[in-house]
Structure 1
Amino acid sequence: MQAHAESTSDHEWITLPETNPLAKPAETKNLIPDMTWAEVAEYLETNDMVIIPIGAIEQHGPQGPLGTDFLNGTERAKLVAQYTDVLVAPIMNVGNSPYHLDFPGTISVSPETLQQVYFEAVQSMIGQGFKRFLLLNAHGGNSATTSYIVDRINQETPGIAVNLGTAVRPFLETDKLAKRNHFDRHGGVNETSRSLYLQPNLVDLERAKKTKLHMLPHLRDMVPEIEAGDDTARLVFLVEALKQESTGKGTDTKDMTDTGVWSEQDLSLANAEIGRKDTEVFVNAAVQFIDRWKELRPVGAGPKK
């Protein structure tokens, strides 16, 4: 009996170029996957901060990449790192997205798995000298889990953690954001605009089409109040809408939208300038918070070993 079958393929042998044509030059600083251990060790001599983006691999309509949340969250973190000395450590690219699973390519893990992976990753970094962790959540479905991870770090380890999305709020100059007075959420004009700025080569607006939203009557009735800026209506809406089929709420993604987009706006309105302004406001706020944290708590403060 032969140990293996001999190849009968007649395909032409592929000769790769001397340099990988898919390799990208390192154009950013402080991204851990691009660094050597020696560079990280040098960083830890004077700093102990790291941003950890938490994203997802899930559908973002026919026009947006499945990696929107992971990619955009990581890009935002990288931009922050260009303007203040902090490292960026992407841990994994999937998140908790069970309500999108009817759209091919979506990958989801449980909240329990999600928090355990990030918590263990942080524990491994604490042993190397990292002390302060800024968790940057880029996917709404991870919000509660991100808060739990932050709390576990603070309650169970020598590390100190903040939810960066919460930490930046006092520094956000919201008057510089584009006005938002329409129902426009997942995969809509604003999110697509951020992708057009952060990942322009991955957005295909030619595939975008008008979405037909199918909301339960009481949810539909809340939309005008949400558009008018009623925060209570927004909260009550979100705790019920976009929940996986097993909950019986009738608000799974496929129940609410035919394209996966959760917006009543025309996606042709999306543009990179909207995304640039949104990103600029966040980056400025994040840099201000990080610089202030460095002032309030210098490296080496706290109990000595």
Structure 2
Amino acid sequence: MKKAKKLEELTWEDVEREEEGIIIIPVGSVEQHGRHLPLGTDSMVAIAIAEEASARTGVPVAPPLWYGWSPHHMVLPGTVNIRPEVLEELLYDIIASLSEHGFKHFVVVNGHRVVNIPWIQLAAYRAKEDLNVNVYIFDPAFASKELKLGRMGHAEEIETSQMMVIRPDLVRKDKIVDSLIKEEFLYHVDPSDPRDTLCYLPSRERMEELAKESGGVNGTPSKSSLELGRKYHEHVVSRLVELIEHIKGVR
């Protein structure tokens, strides 16, 4: 299989020879993912999806943005939260820089689900207006809806299964514990849920209570498997490849 074309491994002459003007940018987070998954899970899955799509399409992939907006997970150690305006400005500046070097089509792979999306959208809109570029936001959670895997939680069977595929060495199976957090009336951040909204976030005190109850998990990671991970991962990579090939055809 071909290798991913990583921007940081290219020379300036390699970039100058790029003719398609398309580049992938993975965006994730560093936040708690229970006792059994690493803090970098969201970024790792975005990177893996982006790099596999790069290998299949020949489109370069930029270094990842490891940090995202994670105030709701600050109650557990290791989480790194950046202000949303910082995420927006950083992504905008990356797009602005690369647009000067001939890239006109940017595919942002978001591994941090709906929490990062508003700020990515703002950066994308500004870039489109200011720089005359196209920005496509690829969110695996939305791209996998047709699999009908059900409600998505946090550090649950889908995330755990995907990590079993891409970084099995970092999955601590002996630490897996199920925890289904009771839904809040206004708090739904699951793209498969028709009530999905970001209009309300629990207080820090409530998040501390939830963390003590769940250990940072919302779902049933005990149901995770390599089979599920391969099915999910291949599906979202294939969907990203489809998007990139579409961009190639219409650019």
**The two structures share one fold, judged by TM-score above 0.5:** yes
**2:247 corresponds to 1:293:** yes
Tell me by how many angstroms 1:180 deviates.
Answer: 2.6
Q: 1:119 maps to what in 2? A: 92
Question: C-alpha separation between the residues in 2 aligned to 1:184 and 1:52?
Answer: 24
Cα distance in structure 2, aligned partners of 1:82 and 1:188: 28
For 1:276, the equivalent position in structure 2 comes to: 230
Within the candidate set 87, 94, 119, 1:145 is matched to 119
Corresponding position of 1:23: none
1:41 to 5, 11, 16: 16
Alignment identity in percent?
Answer: 27
Letter in 1 for 2:23: V
Shift of 1:184: 4.0
User: CA 1:254 to 1:139, structure 2 compared with 1: closer, same or farther past 3 Å?
Assistant: farther
CA shift in 2, pair 1:254/1:59, >3 Å: farther
Query: Which amino acid in 2 is paired with 1:143?
Result: I
Residues 195-232 of structure 1 deviation map (CA, whole Å, 9 limit, x = unaligned): 1111111111111223263554x469x9xxx9xx7x43
CA distance in 1, matches of 2:94, 2:156: 32
> Between Structure 1 and Structure 2, how many residues are aligned?
245
- Matched with 2:80 is 107
- Gapped runs of 5+ residues in structure 1? 1-26, 298-305
Distance 1:150 1:135, change over 3 A: same
Report the alpha carbon displacement of residue 29 of structure 1 after superposing the two structures with TM: 2.6
Counterpart-to-counterpart distance in 1, 2:153 and 2:145:
21
Matching of residue 31 in structure 1 with residue 6 in structure 2: yes
Partner Cα distance (2:209, 2:122) in 1: 29
- 1:252 aligns to 2:207 (yes or no): yes
When residues 28 and 180 of structure 1 are mapped into structure 2, their CA distance, relative to the original with a 3 A threshold, is: same
For 2:132, the equivalent position in structure 1 comes to 158
Map 1:1-305 onto structure 2 (within 5 A): 28-42=3-17, 44=18, 46-140=19-113, 141-165=115-139, 174=146, 177=147, 180-181=149-150, 183-211=151-179, 213-216=181-184, 218=185, 231-232=193-194, 234-235=195-196, 239-240=199-200, 243=201, 245=203, 252=207, 254-255=209-210, 257-263=213-219, 265=220, 267-297=221-251
Stretches of structure 2 that go unaligned for 5 or more consecutive residues are: none
CA distances 1:136-179 after superposition (whole Å, capped 9, x unpaired): 1110220111111211111111322111239x85xx693xx3x5
Q: 1:13 maps to what in 2? A: none
Alpha-carbon RMSD across the aligned residues, in angstroms, is 2.6
Per-residue deviation, residues 33-92 of structure 1 (Å, max 9, x unmatched): 2223332222x2x22100111100001100001000111101100011111121111243
**Structure 2 Cα separation of the partners of residues 254 and 191 of structure 1:** 23
Computing the radius of gyration over CA atoms, which structure comes out larger, 1 or 2?
Answer: 1
Q: Distance in 1 between matches of 2:223 and 2:210?
A: 25
Taking the aligned partners of 1:198 and 1:33, their CA distance within structure 2 comes to 21
TM-score by length of 2: 0.87
1:91–1:121: 8 Å Cα contact kept in structure 2? no
- Give the distance between the partners of 1:61 and 1:190, measured in 2 at CA: 14
Return 152-161 or 55-64, whichever deviates more: 152-161
Structure 2 Cα separation of the partners of residues 205 and 239 of structure 1: 35
Q: Is the 8 A contact 1:253 1:260 kept in 2?
A: no
**Paired residues of 2:7 and 2:62 also in contact (CA < 8 A):** yes
Q: Contact between 1:135 and 1:161, CA under 8 Å: does it hold in 2?
A: yes
Query: What letter matches 2:175 in structure 1?
Result: R
Matched to 1:255, the amino acid is L
Report if the CA contact (8 A) 1:135-1:162 is conserved: yes
Instruction: Note the C-alpha offset of 1:244.
Output: 5.5
Note closer, same or farther for the CA distance 1:253–1:212 as it changes in structure 2 (3 Å cut).
Answer: farther
